[in-house]
Structure 1
């Protein structure tokens, strides 16, 4: 029956010729036609040769999808007379090996083209295990493919007349990871056990089953490598195809952006294959670019280009800073090298400290076309350096002084940092340092910093990159914790902590004695500086367990005699420390913080000085070290048997730091 034609209104027809009529729509509303269900239900009534011609044009994946739509299609496509149909369809897949005899055509198509887990039907499973003819997700693979040692055929099977070997009965794969195990398929083991259970009493049937199983195992061993090669080529081909689509899409997007005026910015990205634009999600999509698609993403990509331009300008600005700071760094290094670097040079500001000062920033942080590294500007900076160094050192002193005032009120003494109590503890490494040693402490100028302390400004980051360290920062220093210890030691020597300087304490040449109440018969005798360090390192113990006193003249004399004998070892220990620096290198990272003999060898090779030495100023000890004064000497009574020495006392004895005294009064 012929379809009825839709009637067209006269007014509408007339409007198509002369234009719109007032009060009438310019376009007739589109009719919604419902799709009829079951439109292909009669297709199977066609002659078989017609169906064969139609279905043979389909991909095996499409045939299997069609077989899953209705029972009629399933019956037709799964029948034996349709076997050739599957074979012809398979010819459309380039390079696909023939269907193996141990699989049906539909099962082969399902394995090769449908990414479902054969255990739990999870989707997007692309790893095919051809040796077992399955796809498994990670969970199913872990439970269904297990090491060979889990499977052991029952002794009854081995006792039968048929000789079996694992290689003939099991297909296997190698495990990944540290240990390479042979992995078996659990289902294959279960099939063997099921067949044995059913055929164990019928030897001939069991023999036939075993022969067929061996043949299947061998066929899989021969066919699986062919399938692997095909699948690898298929995956690589598809990956190359998608990459080509992405590249075409990238170039289409680049052309669109050029039309919008981004040519200059894109030209700067050409050498980097348009990175980072090329890595954007809108660009990496493996779909050809359409006009409609461009309209959806153009605003986002313009924002990306604006960000790329902003980052480029920042990077160019940072390069300008680096170039200027590098020139100033050389100038500062040359100034510190006049005549040579010394330990006192470490108390000066680094190039990072200097370029962050307002006076230097005003010179460096100027427009990029301004010439900063000319002779006139460099001479001005050279003349400015002494005042900048003095200003920086004054600021550091004021910072440390303010840190002291929080717990030690200023009573009008000239320079509190000269006092014997002016010890500061580092919260990062746990060590204590007096002034001015603390200024050179490396923890206050770390070469790295936590993420939240990382410099964010372009200028600050350029300064860090130039100097390879952070600017001096006192936030890691403390004073209140070490103050009671230093005050106690000074008062023990009969001095006023608010007035006594470190030099005055050193001139006293006094020795202090420490007695541990748990071991009252022994005493440690040391200098006042060593006493501060000893008390600090023992501060985690109960202070009540130690009693301090001034050593007697006899005891002090005995200790000084022992220390004099150990001076050579003390000197050797100091030279082994990784604290020595070259006096002739201009940078802050060459030949620094090494043993003295390594630095001396560097001076010989790099600076052609035949016999470099500390005395001649070729090498110097960096101030950032724990004071290497003589170690405490242990006073032991004559009555104490050597067998009763503690571990620490025995160590002091082996190091020659022990004095034997007739009575406690000697200390």
Structure 2
């Protein structure tokens, strides 16, 4: 390395008299080199004299006095600080200058810039114009660093590269660099410092003829498709300065030269900015990778310490969770980018172990819930399959009654968590214990209905539930829903009784509703009276006629209160008995089977599927009957042996009345949906909701 001249060495004596300037926070003033002002006489450097401590009481007193005086000379902010103070200052004063400069050449520009802020002497050395070669050599030591731009000196360039704070508000750290403007600016300040413009806004201050020419050029290029309006970021001060410079130019030649020069400068700035951004990103990535390696080493060191206290396995389990992140590695005590020491481990050991204990509790709780949830899922699937094979005309318990039964609740909750419950074992246990549960559950619930009937009909018995005049209503519904036996066992309001809650049910409430309750049911006087009128209109005895008798009679009913004429939705309204009882028409004037010669025409207008809405096969209960042909085809293919009929026959010799013995309407469906209403106008029908 080239050595310094005697002129530079002569300035060493004057370094102690350099003014104590505070380094500015802007790139324009912080990195300014100091000028060399000729040679000065070299003054010898003084070394500090060390006083020896002599023996004796008088010397001891002198020693304490000197020590007290020394403490008084130490500034208040440095008292109590460990280590020796002023080493950098002694380095600058005692060590030969050529050695100092030789050492500085092995540093990077960021280190030099920070050294220049430590002492007056070092600042005098590094900010000297003659030290430029030191800065250049230090900059060339940095791999991948772009060359210094012409409008910045070495300290200014180092300030831009390594001082990571916002040049506007001073916020640190700030890695957002506007390289084209040689400025760091955080996101908060960027919107005000660098407003956005489009191309036309940028030239708005030009003379009119230039502005119009530029605008016309942009519009022509836009029509050709070669230019699209876009936004650019500008610096207000630089923009104003450029506009002022351009306005001072009078000739076209000067303006062309100025535009060409500025365009070339801008291209060079953009290219240099791209290189600087690549270097900065590589530096940040390298720093991030280095910190990640330190974090990984710290994590492994913590795992080794946890293995000594018996918690490594739990820590590794927390690293393999289903979450998209590693809970253990992301913990604030583990993720720190510093190596683990004995002191550091002792300071985090208690808190980390407590966290792992909580993690273990949460993990076991999640395992418990997932195991119980899987068992409930298996039971739910088997329950639905068993229900689909059951004759719903006999009351079937809901999920809440099955899941909270003593046997299945014990099977799900009391079976050890490490013992596997398979679908086959759940199916076999459900099939074997479901009849026992039903035999105990059904009589108790039917007795509840009998007690409700006896409040209005003293002496009512179980057989009265099947009467056509026994109509129940739900007090929770609005309007109140009317229903026959056993429809109430599938009504949703009967499963909303919160009094049947249990702590285990509350934890898995989303799997099943509450057990069935008759709390909202009463015997409907109005509904029973309407049913009685319909039964009497069919020439049946209200005291003995059952629901099946009413199904067999299947009367055709007209609501004269709803007949309308003179519109597209006009005609006489007809229905079957479920719609007459289950809808608002039960309070209207109804006519039964008294239509004379029009009866056949009215029946021809009725929807063909009216008898089979929500109907199920009476043998297998799973197949939904759609129409007469569908029912006969199903009976021929699946139940010919039970009926004793020829399966090869195309059509079974069954009448419409006989066919009704082989299907039933689904009691889980409300009365109003068991049949469709229709209108008859003398020429056709219009279906009604």
Q: 1:372 to 1:137 in 2, by over 3 A?
A: closer
- Once the two structures are superposed, the pairs formed by residues 236-385 of structure 1 within 5 Å of their partners are 236-262=285-311, 265=314, 276-314=327-365, 317=368, 340=389, 347-350=396-399, 354-364=402-412, 365-367=414-416, 382-385=431-434
Is the CA contact (8 Å cut-off) linking 2:395 and 2:442 kept in structure 1?
A: no
3-state SS, counterpart of residue 471 of structure 2 = coil
CA 1:508–1:162: 2 relative to 1, 3 Å? closer
Matches within 5 A, 1:157-556: 157=207, 159-160=209-210, 182-187=230-235, 191-202=238-249, 203=251, 206-262=255-311, 265=314, 276-314=327-365, 317=368, 340=389, 347-350=396-399, 354-364=402-412, 365-367=414-416, 382-393=431-442, 413-414=460-461, 419-423=470-474, 436-437=486-487, 439-440=489-490, 470-473=511-514, 479=520, 491=529, 509=555, 510-514=557-561, 526=575, 529-530=578-579, 534-535=583-584, 548-551=588-591
Question: Cα distance 1:56–1:334, how it changes in 2: closer, same or farther (>3 A)?
Answer: same
Q: Secondary structure at the match of 1:293?
A: helix
Q: Which residue of 1 aligns with 2:203?
A: 153
Q: Distance in 1 between matches of 2:178 and 2:481?
A: 61
**Preserved contact between residue 575 and residue 676 of structure 2 (Cα < 8 Å):** yes
Separation (CA, whole Å) in 1 of partners of 2:350 and 2:165: 38
Structure 1 position 109, deviation (Å): 3.5
Deviation of 1:625 after TM superposition, in Å, equals 5.0
Alpha-carbon distance, 1:294 to partner:
1.3
Cα distance in 1 for residues equivalent to 2:612 and 2:276 = 71
Output the CA distance in 2 between the equivalents of 1:501 and 1:8. Answer: 127
Deviation string 1:428-475 (CA, Å, 9 cap, x unpaired) is x999977645655789999xxxxxxx9996x987x78xxxx6122279
1:289 CA drift (Å)? 1.5
Is 2:668 aligned against 1:628? no
Distance 1:156-1:282 versus aligned 2 partners, 3 A rule: closer
Distance 2:208 2:661 in 1: 87
Asked whether the equivalents of residues 342 and 620 of structure 1 are also in contact (C-alpha less than 8 Å), the reply is no
> d(CA) in 2 for partners of 1:109 and 1:2?
39
Change (3 A) 1:292 1:474: same
Q: Distance in 1 between matches of 2:284 and 2:298?
A: 21
Distance 1:618 1:116 in 2: 87
Are the aligned partners of 1:278 and 1:284 in contact in 2 as well (CA < 8 Å)?
Answer: yes
**Residue pair 1:57, 1:89 contacting (<8 A) in 2 also:** yes
Specify whether residues 4 and 48 from structure 1 end up closer, same or farther in structure 2 by C-alpha distance, changes over 3 A only.
closer
Within 1, Cα distance between the matches of 2:480 and 2:287?
60
Give, in whole Å, the separation in 2 of the partners of 1:570 and 1:455.
43
Q: CA deviation at 1:386?
A: 0.8
Write the distance in 1 (CA, Å) between the matches of 2:449 and 2:261.
90
SS of the equivalent of 2:686 reads coil
Partners of 2:661 and 2:296 lie apart in 1 by 63
Does 1:565 find its partner at 2:571? no
Q: For residues 526-545 of structure 1, what are the alpha-carbon distances to aligned partners after superposition, in whole Å with 9 as ceiling and x for unaligned?
A: 55643666549xxxxxxxxx
Cα root mean square deviation, aligned: 6.4
User: CA separation in 2, counterparts of 1:569 and 1:257?
Assistant: 73
Distance of 2:195 and 2:661 partners within structure 1: 72
Superposition pairs of residues 23-62 of structure 1, within 5 angstroms: 35-36=74-75, 39=86, 49=98, 52-53=101-102, 55-62=104-111
Q: Does 1:656 align with 2:682?
A: no
Structure 2: 5+ residue stretches without partners: 1-47, 58-69, 79-84, 219-227, 535-541, 639-647, 649-658
Three-state SS of the structure 2 residue aligned to 1:568 is coil
CA contact (8 A) 1:513 1:526 kept: no
Q: Is the Cα contact below 8 Å between 1:423 and 1:432 reproduced in 2?
A: yes
Cα distance in 2 for residues equivalent to 1:303 and 1:210: 69
CA deviation string 1:355-414 (max 9, x = no partner): 432223334514457798899999776543212134455677789999x89xx9896754
**C-alpha distance in 2, partners of 1:316/1:435?**
43
TM score, norm. by length of structure 1? 0.61
Q: Structure 1 pair 573/655, CA: closer, same or farther in 2 (3 Å)?
A: farther
Give 1:247 shift: 1.6
Runs of at least 5 residues in structure 1 that lack an aligned partner in the other structure: 11-30, 169-179, 447-453, 537-545, 586-591, 639-652, 659-667
Residues 225 and 186 (structure 1 numbering): CA distance in 2 closer, same or farther, change over 3 Å?
Answer: closer
SS of the residue aligned with 2:172?
coil
Q: Structure 1 pair 45/633, CA: closer, same or farther in 2 (3 Å)?
A: same
Q: Secondary structure, in 3 states, of the residue corresponding to 1:422? A: strand
Q: Displacement, 1:87?
A: 2.8
Contact kept in structure 1, 2:680 and 2:686, CA below 8 Å: no
The DSSP-based 3-state class of the residue aligned with 2:173 is coil
Which residue of the partner structure matches residue 63 of structure 2?
A: none
Deviation at 1:259, TM superposition (A): 0.6
The Cα shift of 1:253 comes to 1.3
Counterpart in the other structure of 2:24: none
Q: Which residue of 1 aligns with 2:644?
A: none
- Counterparts in 2 of 1:522 and 1:357: CA distance versus 1, 3 Å: same
Matched, 1:140 2:189: yes
Give 1:255 deviation, angstroms. Answer: 1.0
Count of residues in Structure 1 that have an aligned counterpart in Structure 2: 559
1:88 counterpart residue number: 137
- TM-score, normalization: structure 2? 0.59
Q: Is the 8 A contact 2:393 2:486 kept in 1?
A: no
Q: Can you list the C-alpha shifts for 1:48-86, whole angstroms capped at 9, x where unaligned?
A: 656644554554334444556789977875664444343
Query: Conserved in 2, the CA contact under 8 Å of 1:246 and 1:286?
Result: yes
Larger Rg: 2
Once the 2 structures are TM-superposed, how far is the Cα of residue 629 of structure 1 from its aligned partner?
4.1
Superposed, 1:116-127 pairs within 5 Å as 116-127=165-176
What SS is found at the alignment partner of 2:235?
helix
Tell me if the contact between 2:109 and 2:135 (Cα under 8 Å) persists in the aligned partners.
Answer: yes
Instruction: State whether residues 525 and 559 of structure 1, in contact with CA within 8 Å, keep that contact through their aligned partners in structure 2.
Output: no
